[in-house]
């Protein structure tokens, strides 16, 4: 069984989440202090145009563990996560979205599943609480991406993950869009990380709206996914086949030893 960590970081990307981010920080603080006295809550405000920045500055007085990071301009979901991961100092890094569709206190479920030989505990939605069109599109996306990239998890779209800091030291993330989740999971898989999955709750969005479901963002995501697949799957597999064929030919050309 996993012992209590020396320290961990909780990361929330935030974009126009003034209506939810305060309650998420309070929830994160309450469960975090039960596990360790050395924790931090990193909220990356990605150029919000609502009152998110004001809320975060006010909450700093109440929660000393809160470390807000402010982007002057919107850098995308991937850009916000990269800033949060780069700033994180904890032995374990947990992240989820700032829109309130996941309950941070269910971190306990992920932590309970963590073992010494596991680097990533990934949540999956027991039931998706979204409008019907989002559920349908989400199912199609999950099956498509999971098959296309041969991913080791069932729900790539569930941004509720507990990852060892040592796992991040094996990879480098480059994408700024939402495809960073596919990039991260695939690179961790290639790096030899072991995954476990745990079912978590998913709640209706009470504030704001999704930034993904518009034609421009969907087209950008498909473009980024295609480039990511070419880099991490096609090119990597092509190189493996090339070296296998080269080694086979080289072996056949060697003189037979008597």
pLDDT tens-digit map of 219-246: 777 888 999 999 999 887 775 554 556 5
pLDDT at 40: 97
pLDDT at 65: 96
When divided into structural domains, the chain yields a total of 1
pLDDT at 181 > cutoff 80:
yes
Query: b vs e for 159-189, b when ≥16 Cβ sit within 10 Å of the residue's Cβ?
Result: bbbbbbbebbeebeeebbbbbbbbbbbbbbb
Residue 47 inside a domain? The answer is yes
pLDDT at 258: 47
For the record, the structure tokens of 20 come out as 């939810």
Residue 34 inside a domain? The answer is yes
Average pLDDT over residues 74-98: 96
Residue 177 inside a domain? The answer is yes
Could you tell me which of 12, 7, 185, 156 has the C-alpha nearest to residue 85? 12
CATH classification at residue 61: 3.90.550.10
For the record, the structure tokens of 252 come out as 């056949």
Residue 1 inside a domain? The answer is no
> What is the residue-averaged pLDDT of the chain?
88
Could you tell me which of 151, 168, 130, 170 has the C-alpha nearest to residue 228? 151
Q: Are 104 and 123 in contact (CB under 8 A)?
A: no
Number of Cβ within a 10 Å radius of residue 80: 28
Residue 243 inside a domain? The answer is yes
Find all residues with CB under 8 Å of 165, minimum gap 6, and list them: 88, 90, 91, 92, 93
pLDDT at 4: 64
Average pLDDT over residues 168-197: 95
What Rg do the C-alpha atoms of the chain give, in angstroms?
A: 20
Q: Is 202 left (phi over 0), alpha (psi -120 to 50) or beta?
A: beta
Distance between CA atoms of residues 154 and 166, nearest Å: 23
Strands, sheet with 8-14, edge to edge from the N-terminal-most edge strand: 66-71, 39-46, 8-14, 92-96, 160-164, 120-125, 195-200
Distance between CA atoms of residues 49 and 63, nearest Å: 23
Quote the distance between the C-alpha of residue 6 and its chain's center.
22
Distance between CA atoms of residues 173 and 72, nearest Å: 21
User: pLDDT by residue (tens digit) across 88-128?
Assistant: 999 999 999 999 999 999 999 999 999 999 999 999 999 88
Residue 3 inside a domain? The answer is no
- For 98, the domain range is 8-253
Residue 29 inside a domain? The answer is yes
Residue 230 inside a domain? The answer is yes
């Amino acid at each position: 069984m996993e012992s209590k960590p020396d320290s961990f970081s909780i990361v929330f990307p935030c974009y126009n989440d003034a209506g939810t981010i305060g309650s998420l920080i309070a929830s994160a603080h309450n469960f975090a202090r039960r596990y360790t006295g050395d924790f931090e809550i990193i909220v990356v405000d990605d150029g919000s145009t609502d009152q998110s920045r004001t809320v975060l500055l006010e909450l700093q007085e109440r929660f000393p563990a809160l470390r807000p990071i402010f982007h002057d301009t919107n850098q995308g979901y991937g850009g916000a996560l990269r800033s949060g991961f780069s700033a994180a100092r904890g032995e374990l890094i947990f992240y989820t979205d700032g829109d309130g569709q996941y309950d941070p206190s269910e971190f306990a479920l992920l932590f309970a599943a963590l073992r010494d030989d596991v680097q990533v505990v990934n949540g999956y939605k027991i039931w998706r609480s979204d409008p019907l069109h989002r559920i349908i599109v989400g199912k199609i996306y999950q099956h498509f991406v999971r098959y296309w990239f041969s991913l080791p998890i069932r729900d790539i779209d569930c941004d509720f993950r507990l990852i060892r800091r040592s796992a991040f030291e094996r990879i480098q993330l480059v994408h700024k869009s939402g495809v960073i989740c596919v990039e991260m999971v695939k690179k961790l898989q290639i790096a030899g990380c072991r995954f476990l999955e745990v079912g978590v709750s998913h709640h209706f969005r009470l504030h704001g709206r999704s930034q993904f479901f518009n034609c421009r963002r969907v087209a950008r995501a498909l473009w980024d996914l295609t480039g990511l697949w070419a880099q991490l799957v096609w090119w990597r597999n092509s190189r493996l086949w090339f070296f296998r064929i080269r080694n086979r030919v080289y072996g056949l050309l060697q003189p037979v030893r008597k």
